[in-house]
Amino acid sequence: MHIHKFEQFWIKLSFVLIAFFIATVVYGFVAMDLKVIGDHATIDPQNLEDTPFGNPGVREVTRNGQTEYEVYVQTIQFAFNPGTAQPIEVPVDTRVTFYVTSPDVLHGFDVAGTNLNTMAIPGQVAKFTTIFPEVREYGIVCNEYCGPAHHVMEGKIKVVPKSEFDISNLVE
Amino acid sequence: MNEEQSNSSTKRLVKILVIVGIGIPVLVELMTLFNLINVQIFEDEEDVNGQDSNVADVRGFGEGDTLFADQETAVLIDQLRVKVSTQEWRFVLGLTSVDSISQDKLQIQVDSLILQSDKVLMSNDSNIWKFQQLVPAQAYGEWILPNGDIPTKLFISMYQGAAADSTYQISQEVPLEKIPVRYNQE
Amino acid sequence: MTFLHKYPKAAKVAKANFIVAFIALAIGGLFGFVQALHRTNVFRGFINSGEYYTLLTGHGVLLALIFTTFFIAGLFVWGVTRSLDREPENLTFTWSWFWLMTIGLVMATVAILGGLVPDSSIRAAVLYTFYPPLQAHPMFYIGLALVLIGSWMAGADWFWSYRKWRADNPNERIPILTFMTLFTMLMWYVCTIGLALEVVGLLIPWSLGWVTEIEPLLPRTLFWFFGHAVVYFWLLPAYYVWYAILPKLSGGRLFSDSMTRIVFVIFLLLSTPVGYHHQYADAGISVGFKFYAMATTLLLLLPSLITLFTVVASMEHGARQRGGKGYLKWIGKLPWDSPAFVGCAFAGIMFAAGGFSGMINASMNINLLIHNTIWVPGHFHLTVGTAVALTFMAITYWLLPQLTGRKLKHKTLALIQPYAWFLGMTLMSNAMHRAGLAGVPRRTAEPEYMGFDFEPIFGTMAEMKWQIAIGGTILTISLILFLWVVVASWLAGEKSDKPVDDHIPEPLSGVEHTPAILDNMKLWFTLALVLVVLAYAFPLWEMVADGIFSPGALPRPS
Ligand code: HEM
Ligand SMILES: [Cu+2]
Ligand SMILES: [Cu+2]
C-alpha cells in the first residue's frame, strides 16, 4: 500500500493529538480530582420511603474524624426535594456528598456553570462529592427533559460560612 | 444577458457572498476567541459571586402565608400550586380562615389572575368561593390555565354582608412567589 | 445519457426517497425555526411551552432520523446502481422496503403531531431519544420499528445487487461507491441490534401494557448502543460524498483509494463500542467502561482526521488542475461559484469545528461542564445539522439533475443557499456553545429561572439569545431557498440529455495499491461484533441479572 509521506506525517500527528487528549482527562482525574459518576447502588424507585431518600435533606456525618455532610436529593416532576421549596444549605470548604435519585422519570441535576452535573435515573443512585470553595448561591437546573413543565424545575444551593451554618435544618 | 455579463455578475455575487457569508462567521469566531483568551488571562479573578441584583427580592405570597393579615378576618393560604398533566395545567388555591370567624356572609372572591405570559384570567361566578360559618372555614378552587402558563399575581376581594350591595369590601393584590409545579396523576 | 436514462427504475426509487426526505426536512426545519424563537423568548406566540416538547420531538425525529435515513437510502440506491451498473434485482422487494419505511414514518409522525391536538390521547412528546419511563403512544414505537426493518431490507437489497455483481465479476475489487455503501450498512446492522432490542424487546410490549414496569437504565443504555453509531450512519454518507464526488466537483480526483477504505473499516469497527460516552453522567455504569468508551471515542478521531487530509488534498489537487498556485493561493481557484462544491466545502469546514467541540464532549470529566446544556445542540448542529445536512443539500444540486433529467433552475439562489447556511449556523451554534458554558440547559422551552441568573464567562445572555434567534432565522431562509430550488428544478427545469457533468474520474492512487484484505467484509464484521461484545456484554448483563424490568419504574404519559 502506498501512503504519501505527508499523509504518514499527518497520521502520526493525529496519534499524538489523541494521546494528548487522553492524557488531559487522566491528569484531571488524578491530579485535579475531577471524577465522573460511577456505579454506586441500585434502588427500588417505587419504595424510596424506607431509604434515606424517604427523609431527604442534609445530614451530618463524621468520617475519618472530620465533619462532613451528606445530601439526599429526590428529583420529582417538577422539583428538587430539597432544593426547590427550600435551598440546600451547606457550609463552605467542607466535603459534601450528594446522593441523587428519582422516583418517577429521568431528570438532570446540574449546578449551573459548574461541573456538578449528573443524571437522576429511577433505580440508580448517583453519588458525587465536592467541596464548595466560596460563599455564594448556585442555581440547580434540571437539564434532562422530564415532562411538560420541565422548564420550571429549578432549585438552589446556598453555601454559607461555617459560622452561619444552621444545624437545626439538618435531618436525622 | 450575454455570457460575459452574466459571468461578471456571478463574480460580483460570489465576492459579496464570500465577504458576508465567510467574513461575518470568521469575525464572530475571532471575537469569541479573543474574549475567551481575554477572560482567561486578564480577568481571572474578576469577582463572579456578586449576588445578582435582578433576581427580584420582593418576596411574594406562598403556601402558609396569610391574606388580609391586618383584618380580623385573616385567611391562610394552605394550598397553592400548579398541577400539570399531559392534557392540562391547573391552578389550585386553598384557603383557610385563621380564627373560625362566625361573621355572617363572609365571602372571598378571586377577581383575576395575572399569568406569566401577561395574560389575565378573569373570574366568573363559579370561581367565587364563599366562606360561611364553617369551622374551620375552608375554600378550595381550581382554574384551568392556558397550557404552559403560570400565575404570578392574584387579585382577591373580601365582602361582608350581602354580596350584591356589600356593606364592606376590601381587596388585596397578591403577588405570588414561585408556585410549586407538580405532576398531576389522574 | 444520464442516470435517469440508463437506470430509469433505480432513478424512480431514489427520487421517491428524496421526496420523503425533503418533506421531512421542510417540516422539521419549520419546527426548528419555531424553537429558536421560542426558547430565546423572541417570539412565543406559535405554541405554548407545553407543546414545545412535541415540536422538539418532531424536529429531532423528522430531521435526525427520517430526513437522514431516506436521503441516505436514495443516495445509496444511486451509488450502488451506478457503480455496479445494475438496476435493483427485484423491484417488488425494493418498493416494499420503501413503503414499509414510509408507513413507519407516517405512524411515528402522526403519534408526535397528535400532541398538538387538544385532548388527544395520541401523543409522543418523548423526544427523539424516547427515554422511558416517559411513555409515548405505541404507534410511535411501532412506526420507528417499521422504519428500522425497512432500512435493514434496504441494506439487504444492496448486498443482493453486490452478490449478483460478484457472480459476474469474480476477480474485481468492490467499486468504491459500493464499498462505502456496504460498510456503512454493516455498521448499521451492528448498531441497530441495540435499537431493535430496545424498541421491539422492551418498549413496544411496555407501551401496549403487556408489562407495566420498566428499568430506565437498560433501554437508555441500549439506545446509546445504537445512538453513537447512528451519528456515523449519518456521517459516512457525507464522507461518501466528500470522498467520491467532492474531488470531482473541485476539478480533481480522489487522493487515495486505500485510505478511503481504511477509514470505512475503522468506522465499522469502532462506531458502536463507544456509546457510553453519552452516559458519562449516568449512575449505574462503572468508570472503567466509561474510560474504555472514551479512549475508543478519541481513537475515532483518527479516521476523521485522515478524512480531513484526504479531502483537503483532493481539493488542492483539483484547484491546481484549475491553475491554482502557491501554498494557500490555490484556495481561491476552487469553484466558489458552484453551489454543490460550496455546500460540501462549508460542510467540511463546519465538521472540523464540530470536531473540536466533540473532543470536549468526549473528554469524560470535562464533559460534565457541558453535559445536557445547549452546548450539545450547538455541537451537533455543526455535525449532523451541517456536515451532514448541508452536504446532502449541496449534493442534491448535482444529483437531482441526474435523477430527473432536468437542469437546475435558479442557480443564483442555489449559490446563496450554502453561504446563508454557513452564516446562520455560525451565529446559532457559536451562541449555543457559549450559553452552554454558562449552564443553560438544552431541551427547555423557557430557560429562564426565577431563583438565579446564568453567569456567562463573557458577553450577556440577551446577546446570545438574539444571536441564536437571528442565526436560526437565517438558517430557515436558507432552507426555504433550498426547497424552492429543488421544487422548481424538479417540476420546471429544462429537460436535457446531459443536465450535469456526472463523470467521476479515477483516484490518484488507485485501487491497485489497496490491500485486498480491506475488502474482506466477513472478517471486519466479525471483528466489529467482538468489540461490541467486549464493551457491552458485562454491563448489560449486570443490568439484566436482577430481572430485565427491575428495578422497575412505572410509566408516565408524555
Ligand atoms: C432551520 C434550521 C434549524 C434550526 C433553526 C434548528 C434549531 C434547533 C434548536 C433551537 C434546537 C434546540 C432545542 C432545545 O434543545 O431546546 C434544535 C435541536 C435539535 N436539532 Fe435543530 N435546527 C435546525 C436544523 C436542524 C437540522 C438540519 C438537523 C439534523 C439533520 C437538526 C437536528 C436537531 C436535533 C437532533 C436536535 C435535538 C433535539 C432534542 O434535543 O431532542 N436541526 N434545533
Ligand atoms: Cu426536567
Ligand atoms: Cu456519540
Please, which pLDDT band fits residue B124 given cuts at 50, 70 and 90? low
**Which of C82, C442, C525, C536 is an active site residue?**
C442
- pLDDT for position A42: 84
Q: How far is A163 from chain C (nearest CA, A)?
A: 24
What CATH number matches the domain at C3-544, 3.40.710.10, 1.20.210.10, 2.50.20.10, 3.40.640.10? 1.20.210.10
Q: Indicate whether B46 pLDDT > 60.
A: no
Active site residue C443: yes
Q: How far is B173 from chain A (nearest CA, A)?
A: 23
What SS3 class is residue C209?
coil
Alpha carbons C65 and C230: distance in angstroms, whole number = 9
Sign of torsion over alpha carbons A145, A147, A150, A154 = negative
Protein residue with least CA distance to atom 8, ligand 1: C32
Cβ <8 Å between C426 and B28: yes
Atom of ligand 1 nearest to the CA of C30: 1
Q: What is the pLDDT along chain A (172 residues), one digit of tens a residue?
A: 677 788 888 889 989 988 888 888 888 877 777 777 777 788 888 888 889 898 888 998 888 888 899 999 999 999 998 888 889 999 999 999 999 999 999 999 999 888 899 999 999 999 999 999 999 999 999 999 999 899 999 999 999 998 888 887 788 7
**Rg, C-alpha atoms of chain B:** 29
What SS3 class is residue C84?
helix
User: Tell me, what's the ipTM?
Assistant: 0.91
pLDDT in tens, C331-390: 888 889 899 999 999 998 898 888 888 888 888 888 888 999 999 999 999 999 999 999
A12 in reach of chain B (CB within 8 A): no
Q: How far is C420 from chain A (nearest CA, A)?
A: 31
Please choose, from the candidates C131, C54, C368, the residue with its C-alpha nearest in 3D space to the C-alpha of residue A106: C131
Q: Which chain B residues are Cβ-neighbours of A104 within 8 angstroms? A: 183
Distance of CA C275 to the CA centre of its chain: 16
Residue B156 forms beta bridges with which residues?
A: B110, B172
- pLDDT for position C101: 96
- Picking from C34, C46, C336 by the largest number of B CB atoms within 10 A of its own CB, the best residue to mutate is C336
Alpha carbons C527 and C270: distance in angstroms, whole number = 10
Using an 8 Å Cβ cutoff, are A61 and A69 in contact? yes
pLDDT in tens, C383-400: 999 999 999 999 999 999
Alpha carbons C480 and C374: distance in angstroms, whole number = 25
The three grid cell numbers given for residue A142, joined into one nine-digit string: 434540571
Alpha carbons C89 and C78: distance in angstroms, whole number = 14
Q: Indicate whether B5 pLDDT > 90.
A: no
A130 in reach of chain B (CB within 8 A): no
- pLDDT for position A101: 93
Using an 8 Å Cβ cutoff, are C44 and C205 in contact? no
Q: What is the pLDDT along chain C (558 residues), one digit of tens a residue?
A: 889 999 999 999 999 999 999 999 999 999 999 999 999 999 988 888 888 999 999 999 999 999 999 999 999 999 999 999 999 999 999 999 999 999 999 999 999 999 888 888 899 999 999 999 999 999 999 999 999 999 999 999 999 999 999 999 988 889 999 999 999 999 999 999 999 999 999 999 999 999 988 999 999 999 999 999 999 999 999 999 998 899 888 888 887 888 889 999 999 999 888 888 899 988 888 888 888 888 888 888 888 888 888 888 888 888 888 887 888 888 888 889 899 999 999 998 898 888 888 888 888 888 888 999 999 999 999 999 999 999 999 999 999 999 999 999 999 999 999 999 999 999 999 999 999 999 999 999 999 888 888 888 888 899 999 999 999 999 999 999 999 999 999 999 999 888 888 888 887 777 777 888 888 899 999 999 999 998 888 888 888 888 788 788 888 887
Map out the domains of chain A as residue ranges: 1-34, 41-169
Residue C497, Ramachandran bin (φ over 0: left; ψ between -120 and 50: alpha; else beta): alpha
Kindly provide the b/e burial profile for residues C344-371, where b requires at least 16 CB atoms within 10 angstroms of the residue's own CB: bbbbbbbbebbbebbbbbbbbbbbbbbb
Alpha carbons C70 and C20: distance in angstroms, whole number = 7
Q: Which ligand is nearest to the CA of A150?
A: 2
**Rg, C-alpha atoms of chain C:** 23
The three grid cell numbers given for residue C415, joined into one nine-digit string: 449559490
Ligand 1 neighbours, Cβ below 6 Å, are: C 29, 32-33, 35-36, 39, 56, 59-60, 63-64, 67, 127-128, 377, 381, 384-385, 389, 442-444, 472, 475-476, 479
Protein residue with least CA distance to atom 20, ligand 1: C60
Please choose, from the candidates B176, B130, B142, B174, the residue with its C-alpha nearest in 3D space to the C-alpha of residue B156: B174
**Residues 6 or more apart from C342 whose CB is under 8 A from it?**
C335, C336, C394, C415, C418, C419
**Which of C371, C443, C482, C536 is an active site residue?**
C443
Give C526-545 as a 3 state SS string: HHHHHHHHHHHHHHHHHHHH
- pLDDT for position B54: 46
Using an 8 Å Cβ cutoff, are C84 and C37 in contact? no
Cβ <8 Å between B150 and A152: yes
Please choose, from the candidates C204, C189, C376, C382, the residue with its C-alpha nearest in 3D space to the C-alpha of residue C272: C189
Residue type, C261: R
The torsion angles phi and psi of B115, rounded to 5 degrees, stand at -100, 165
- Picking from B10, B22, B179 by the largest number of C CB atoms within 10 A of its own CB, the best residue to mutate is B22
Q: Which of C27, C30, C35, C53 to mutate to test the pocket of ligand 1 (most atoms within 8 A of CB)?
A: C35
Using an 8 Å Cβ cutoff, are C96 and C153 in contact? yes
**Residues 6 or more apart from B171 whose CB is under 8 A from it?**
B111, B155, B156, B157, B158
A37 in reach of chain B (CB within 8 A): no
Atom of ligand 1 nearest to the CA of C33: 5
Active site residue C380: yes
What CATH number matches the domain at A41-169, 2.60.40.420, 1.20.120.80, 2.60.40.1180, 3.30.390.30? 2.60.40.420
Q: Which chain B residues are Cβ-neighbours of C52 within 8 angstroms? A: 148
Alpha carbons A13 and B113: distance in angstroms, whole number = 64
Measured in Å, residue C58 CA sits from the centre of ligand 1 at 10
**Residues 6 or more apart from B71 whose CB is under 8 A from it?**
B158, B170
- pLDDT for position B52: 46
Residues 92-151 of A with CB under 8 A from C: 100-101, 103-106, 108, 110-119, 121-127, 137-139, 141-151
Q: Which ligand is nearest to the CA of C127?
A: 1
Residue type, C1: M
Please choose, from the candidates C310, C334, C306, C479, the residue with its C-alpha nearest in 3D space to the C-alpha of residue C392: C479
Active site residue C232: yes
DSSP state of C495: B
- pLDDT for position B51: 45
**Rg, C-alpha atoms of chain A:** 20
Of C256, C281, C438, the CB nearest to A117: C281
Residue A146 forms beta bridges with which residues?
A: none
Q: Which of C47, C63, C70 to mutate to test the pocket of ligand 1 (most atoms within 8 A of CB)?
A: C63
Protein residue with least CA distance to atom 15, ligand 1: C443
Q: Which of the two residues, B39 and C19, has the higher pLDDT score?
A: C19
Element (H, E) at C131: none
Protein residue with least CA distance to atom 31, ligand 1: C385
Q: Count CB-CB contacts under 10 A for residue C31.
A: 23
- Picking from A75, A76, A77, A81 by the largest number of B CB atoms within 10 A of its own CB, the best residue to mutate is A77
Protein residue with least CA distance to atom 26, ligand 1: C385
Strand C134-135 versus strand C556-557 pairing type: parallel
Q: Count CB-CB contacts under 10 A for residue C405.
A: 21
Alpha carbons A102 and A122: distance in angstroms, whole number = 5
Q: How far is B62 from chain C (nearest CA, A)?
A: 14
CA distances from C380 to A92, C60, C357, C386, C422 (A): 37, 11, 9, 8, 14
Cβ <8 Å between C302 and A37: no
Q: Which chain C residue has the Cα nearest residue A101?
A: C283
Q: Count CB-CB contacts under 10 A for residue C450.
A: 18
Using an 8 Å Cβ cutoff, are B103 and B95 in contact? no
Element (H, E) at A159: strand A154-160
Alpha carbons C454 and C371: distance in angstroms, whole number = 16
DSSP state of A147: S
Protein residue with least CA distance to atom 18, ligand 1: C377
Active site residue C381: yes
C515 in reach of chain A (CB within 8 A): yes
Please, which pLDDT band fits residue B44 given cuts at 50, 70 and 90? low
C134 in reach of chain A (CB within 8 A): yes
Q: Count CB-CB contacts under 10 A for residue B48.
A: 11
The torsion angles phi and psi of C283, rounded to 5 degrees, stand at -75, 155
